[in-house]
Amino acid sequence: MPPPVPAVRRMSAVGSRLNPDKFLGQDYYQLHKDYCQNRARFLDSTFPPNESAIGPGLLDDDEMKNVEWIRPTKMMSDPQLVVDGESRFDFAQGDVGNCWFLSAIGAITFQREIMEQIIPSGQSFKKEYAGIFHFRFWRFGKWIDVVIDDKLPTIDGELIFLHCKTRNEFWPALLEKAYAKVCGSYADMNGGFVSEALADFTGGVHMTLFPKEERPELWGLMYRAVQYRSIMGCGTPQGATSANTELPNGIVEGHAYTVTGVTKLKSKGQGVKLVRLLNPWGRGEWVGDWSDNSPLWKTVSSEDRTKWLDSKNDGEFWMSMEDFCKSFVNVDVCCLTPAFLDGSSPESWSTKQYEGCWDEKTAGGSMEHKQSFWTNPQYQVKIPAIEGDEADVQGLNLLVSLMQKPDKRRRSLVEHLHIGFSVFRIPPEMKDQKAFPASFFSPNTLVSQRQHSSNTREVMEFFKMKPGRYLIVPFTNKPNSTTSFLLTVHSKRE
């Protein structure tokens, strides 16, 4: 069993967990106080409950005409923010294609500390109710506090978007509205990657694993990630004809799922590695080996069957690691520490974040552009030698993440550049050099390169590096492509 993850160090700087930045300048506590004193209900002028908040393309003209924005206190006599704690089974997806967002919500319900960070305490439909709520998200290096009014879009009295299975529970619908405000509208949440929401819910270490690569340590990494209280999501490949087609085996194409469990059981005397998954629709399950009604469950002990099997049509199911690797194309892991990579102590890793940009002087393009590549931003990192018994077992010791920042308010209008980073070994005789000229960058010094051809906002990779000094160069594929970025480097210490 790994050592416990330490509590995050509390900081008072604006944008920290304890002191999040006020999104759009709105101070929840002051607004709440003012509206309570005036016995009025808050109406958010920065995200007004109208057609613009829903956004284009989600509803047709007739549906839009029938939309009525209603406060929960007008929907029923006893609305609650949370009923019997937050659960991954609380909610069901509405008319937005945001399964990536719901998959992440299902993951964070396992983590009380994360839920308390995202949904601040003291909010209620009863005590000092003023129609105002707030939620917190991590966005591009800092925490933000997002204020909303509680008017929710309905048609014929029913919520259009994310809703709770318990009719008087409203935390999922209000959380979705707060995130829609950050994105620009509900329509701006249509389509995305679960990795994006996992990062925005935690501000933690993110990495993407690829089952198709058949990494022999994949199950071990996922198992350790659970021990270190990580949250995980995964995705299926896009279908040949259309997205969200349900296959005969119950798996939905082009869909995001939540990883809710990883375990190993004995079946017929042999160890079987299993993964538990949740469909954020709240229905639709795998029907193959180790599914709810699979006869294979009769081959394990009654104790294991009682502990792990829950035969309900709730969208959650087990499958073998082999079937998981055949059905899913990526696994996104988000954790407060990369220590799960090798089962080490969280204190043995250090983290540095750098905010930078590619501008007219520093957007040098990829290594294909030899005359300008050297003008890209440059960052140095030192990998120390490990002494003692572990010296010959140099494991994963460097994790690099490059995230580009949006240049537009609305999420759907952001055009991500194709970005990447190169890692070069710095010779000992150049260890004191501050900047490196064009002549330094050659295939002889290149250690690794990671880049995306798709439009994801983040590129990451983890490495096994020999002791020494290294240079990290973030780049855009084409020169003169300008935007801001956040570079995060996690390195193993002595």
Cα separations in angstroms, 346 against 230, 340, 378: 13, 8, 27
Q: Which listed residue (255, 330, 334, 335) is catalytic?
A: 255
Residue spans of beta strands (DSSP E) within 268-311: 270-278
255 included as an active-site residue? yes
Cα separations in angstroms, 21 against 16, 145, 205, 246: 8, 6, 21, 42
Query: What is the SS3 assignment for 390?
Result: helix
Instruction: Give the C-alpha separation, 51 to 53, whole Å.
Output: 5
Characterize 331-340 residue by residue with b for buried, 16 or more Cβ atoms within 10 angstroms of its Cβ, and e for exposed.
Answer: bbbbbbbbbb
Q: What is the DSSP letter of 184?
A: S
Residue spans of beta strands (DSSP E) within 194-255: 205-209, 231-235
Element (H, E) at 37: helix 28-37
Beta bridge partners of 379: 472
Instruction: Give the C-alpha separation, 5 to 395, whole Å.
Output: 20
Q: Which listed residue (32, 134, 163, 279) is catalytic?
A: 279
Could you write out the DSSP letters of every residue in 310-331?
---SSSEEEEEHHHHHHH-SEE
Residue 276, C-beta contacts closer than 8 angstroms, at least 6 positions apart: 259, 260, 261, 262, 263, 308, 316, 317, 318
In single-letter form, the type of residue at position 468 comes to G
Alpha helices in 42-111 (DSSP H): 51-54, 61-65, 72-75, 99-108
357 included as an active-site residue? no
Q: Which listed residue (32, 99, 134, 234) is catalytic?
A: 99
Instruction: Give the C-alpha separation, 42 to 31, whole Å.
Output: 8
The percent of the chain in helix, strand and coil, each rounded to the nearest 5, is 25, 30, 45
Element (H, E) at 32: helix 28-37
In single-letter form, the type of residue at position 205 comes to V
50 included as an active-site residue? no
Residues acting as catalytic residues? 99, 255, 279
